[in-house]
Amino acid sequence: MKTIKAVKMQGLGNDFVIVDYDEYEKSGLSMEVFAMKICNRNFGIGGDGLIIPNLTPNDGCDIGWYFYNSDGTSAQMCGNGMRCFAKYAYDKKLVDKKQFSVSTLAGKIIPEIISDEEVKVNMGKPIFEDEKIPFKGERKITIKDRTFEINPVSMGNPHCVIFTDENPYKMAEIYGPEIEKHPYFPQKTNTEFVNVLSQNVIHMGVYERGCGITLACGTGACASVVSSILNNLTENKVNVKLLGGSVTVEWHGNSENKQKDVFLSGRADYVFEADYIL
């Protein structure tokens, strides 16, 4: 019987299992299969994703990570996951400073420990070029006989942002699964339905690529705020309300200058530590 030490963390209900690399090696499994087993909510610990620290990144960053969705697919970035990872890395003394660089498939990401309760992450610059998102299609999409105007953008992973006056959570549940796999998005996509409540507050429902409906999505919050600003719907600092709570996103870009970094701030919390029996 193999026992693996694991930590469960959550950011606004978006939950993750964190396992150190030497503990993961005990499994003898590929990371893809290990992620599916440990993230299973009936037979494993349960989580939206698996995070494994990489202490020896080869790109000059202070630390790196391996990130897998619960279905075993890898993801370039995850904002809520990054906040949890940053708090874990700092608390476990895997890094010795409050602001540090993390190597991800989306490039270098810089989180900062603001307090015991809050982590701020420099999420980098949004990506709008179709080939880099990647996106192949029009700015309108038809699903279940409904046509939506869409805002494709990447925050290291692809997003499809749709503004609506209807319930964003119900819309994500109904239309998200088909948009995720639509031919417009060759690597699939996260889908966000957004209500703009004021110039500083939005509501967001999300269907995450590789996870389905989740309580929160950090990169989705960033993509939604960027799209809101470019559509002249909000100011540059926005409170994003999700099923699991709220985060703050700040972006000082505009249609004339899109090359500005996006900053995401919010909580990251421990749930429990456990010995997982494989």
Residues with active-site annotation: 78, 217
CB 35 within 8 A of CB 3: no
Which tokens belong to 83? 């906040």
Q: Please report, for residues 6, 29, 89, 201, 276, the alpha-carbon distance to residue 85 in angstroms, rounded to integers and kept in the order given.
A: 13, 22, 6, 27, 19
Helix axes 79-91, 218-230, angle to 10 degrees: 130
DSSP 218: H
Residue 80 per-residue DSSP state: H
Residue 45's alpha-carbon distances to 122, 136, 219, in angstroms, are: 29, 37, 24
**Under DSSP, is residue 22 helix (H, G, I), strand (E, B) or coil?**
helix
Q: Is the separation of the CB atoms in 140 and 149 below 8 Å?
A: yes
3-state SS assignment for residue 175: helix
Q: Which residue from 153, 155, 73, 70 is spatially nearest to 109, judged by alpha carbons?
A: 155
* Cα–Cα distance, 163 to 196 (Å, whole number): 8
